[in-house]
Structure formats: structure tokens, C-alpha cells
Amino acid sequence: MSDDSRPTPPGARTAAVIPAAGRGVRLGPGAPKALRTLNGTPMLIHAVRAMAASRAVSLVVVVAPPDGAAEVKTLLDSHALPERTEFHVVPGGDSRQDSVRLGLEALPSGIDIVLVHDAARPLVPVDTVDGVIEAVRDGAPAVVPALPLTDTVKQVEPAGAAGEPEPVVATPDRARLRAVQTPQGFDRATLVRAHETVTDNVTDDASMVEQLGLRVVVVPGHEEAFKVTRPLDLVLAEAVLTRRRLNDGF
């Protein structure tokens, strides 16, 4: 068994890194996306609570907008969060990848498992978080929650002139495709090595581990772990929160 596939010790400590430094250009003008509210509470606070809801997560590192670390610290201090969890805030970078790396650099020794979770996925249920952690504990160096696709997907030629129709070149077999979410979970040493080694721009952390040639596995994601990207996603997120409140009876 290689070092990268050894089971993580049962007492392994888990931290969550939350990249929250993006502007949210696709959401439209306004505050940085993570600071926008969903039913009155900042998206980032929902995301932090979603990580801290897992009893396995002992530390949450929030990667704030580069000039917004003080504001984010104040925000965390002013919201109720579980006392058993430690919270740190660090400034982020120009890309998601840079922000995650800066979060990783802030982790203390003694952390063996790292979750990387988008602030923009504020509603991920705790069972999904725990499923990812369990799969890392069972020996996978990288674990991705994912869902089957509901749309048929077409591969097209890169667009020529703006507004020109794009020619379709293939229709991949949908049964073999997955839409991936976060938190993605990693053996810490593997993720650090991936961030030290891979310099291409990628859209998720697991693909960096794939580039190292290591095993990445998929576990079930959840429809409520969707990413708030465009304005309609805000409407859906607030509807989900309202449904949860009604179901919980308060």
C-alpha cells in the first residue's frame, strides 16, 4: 500500500478550509458573494455552520476577500457558532486555487484530514460532510461528493465569433458523468503536495490530485449542496432555508 492510500488513523483530526474570497461576478453587482445574505444571514455563516455541524470538524479556516479579513472576523464573532470548533480567518488570493493554498498554509500541525468547501455552497447537509470524511478515513486520498447529471451534455467546438452557433462534436455518455460538489475531502499531505506540484488553473482541488496520478473517489452528493452562482440560485437557497425552518417547526 502506498503512503497516499494508507487508512487515516481513527483519531485523525479534521479541518475545513472555506474559500470565500471570490467576488461573485456571475451573481451581479454588490458585496462579495460570501457576505451576501440568505434569509438575513450571510452565506458564509451558513457555510461555516454547515462545516461545524460535523462533530469530526475541529477547526474551520475561512479564506476571506483579500482586504476583508477583519470584517469576516467581526462577522464570525457576531454570530452563534458551536463552541467545540475553532475558527481562523486568513486573507485570500486572486483565484480559488490561490485562496485554498493560503488556507492550507494556515493549518496547524495535528490536522490529518482537510475538507475544502466553497462558501458558495452554504446549504450542504451534515450527512454529506460526514460521508466525505468517512471515505477519507477509510483510506481514499481524495473524495468528491457528486450527483448524476439530469441534463444531456453536448461537447462543442470552442466558440468562433460572438453570437455564432457552436457546432456539436460529441454527446458524452451521461451515465458516466458526475456533477461534483464540495466539501471535497483529502488526506492533508496529499492535498498539500497537489497544491505544491500542480500549476495549471483548475476548477476543483480533486483534479489536482488526479494530476498526481492518485486515486480520487466519488461519494453521494446532495441536491441542497448546489453552488450559489447566478441570481436564481439565491431564490432557490432562500426557499430551501424556508422549507427547513417549516420542517423544523420554528
Ligand X SMILES: C[C@](O)(CO)[C@H](O)COP(=O)(O)O
Ligand Y SMILES: Nc1ccn([C@@H]2O[C@H](COP(=O)(O)OP(=O)(O)OP(=O)(O)O)[C@@H](O)[C@H]2O)c(=O)n1
**Interface region with ligand X, contact rule CB under 6 A, candidates 58-66, 167-175, 179-187, 193-201:** 179-187
Amino acid at 211: Q
Among residues 97, 99, 128, 182, which is the contact residue for ligand X, using CB under 6 A?
Answer: 182
CB of 205 to ligand X, least distance (A): 7
Between CA 248 and CA 250 the distance in angstroms is: 6
Stretch 80-109: interaction string toward ligand X, x if CB under 6 A: ----------------x-------------
CB of 124 to ligand X, least distance (A): 11
- In the list ligand X, ligand Y, none, the entry touching 33 (Cβ below 5 to 8 angstroms by class) is ligand Y
Among residues 36, 79, 178, 227, which is the contact residue for ligand Y, using CB under 6 A?
Answer: 227
Q: Does 117 bind ligand X (CB under 6 A)?
A: no
Which pairs from 200-209 meet CB under 8 Å and 24+ separation? 201/95, 201/97, 202/97, 203/96, 204/144, 204/180, 205/100, 205/116, 205/142, 206/142, 206/143, 206/144, 206/180, 209/141, 209/142
C-alpha distances (whole Å) from 212 to each of 139, 147, 195, 198 are: 17, 24, 10, 8
Between CA 242 and CA 250 the distance in angstroms is: 10
CB of 131 to ligand Y, least distance (A): 21
- CB-CB contact of 59 with 111 (8 Å): yes
Q: Smaller CB distance to ligand Y: residue 20 or 216?
A: 20
Between CA 159 and CA 168 the distance in angstroms is: 11
Between CA 132 and CA 50 the distance in angstroms is: 13
Q: Smaller CB distance to ligand X: residue 128 or 182?
A: 182
Q: Smaller CB distance to ligand X: residue 112 or 204?
A: 204
Q: Does 20 bind ligand Y (CB under 6 A)?
A: yes
Between CA 99 and CA 92 the distance in angstroms is: 4
Between CA 39 and CA 238 the distance in angstroms is: 6
CB of 170 to ligand X, least distance (A): 22
Cell of residue 27, nine digits = 451573481
Among residues 13, 96, 137, 188, which is the contact residue for ligand Y, using CB under 6 A?
Answer: 96
**Interface region with ligand Y, contact rule CB under 6 A, candidates 16-24, 48-56, 139-147, 172-180:** 16-24
Q: Does 248 bind ligand Y (CB under 6 A)?
A: no
DSSP 31: S
What is the contact surface with ligand X in residues (CB under 6 A)? 96, 118, 180-182, 203-204, 227
Residues lying near ligand Y in the complex (CB under 6 A): 19-26, 33-34, 63, 92-96, 99, 118-120, 227, 229
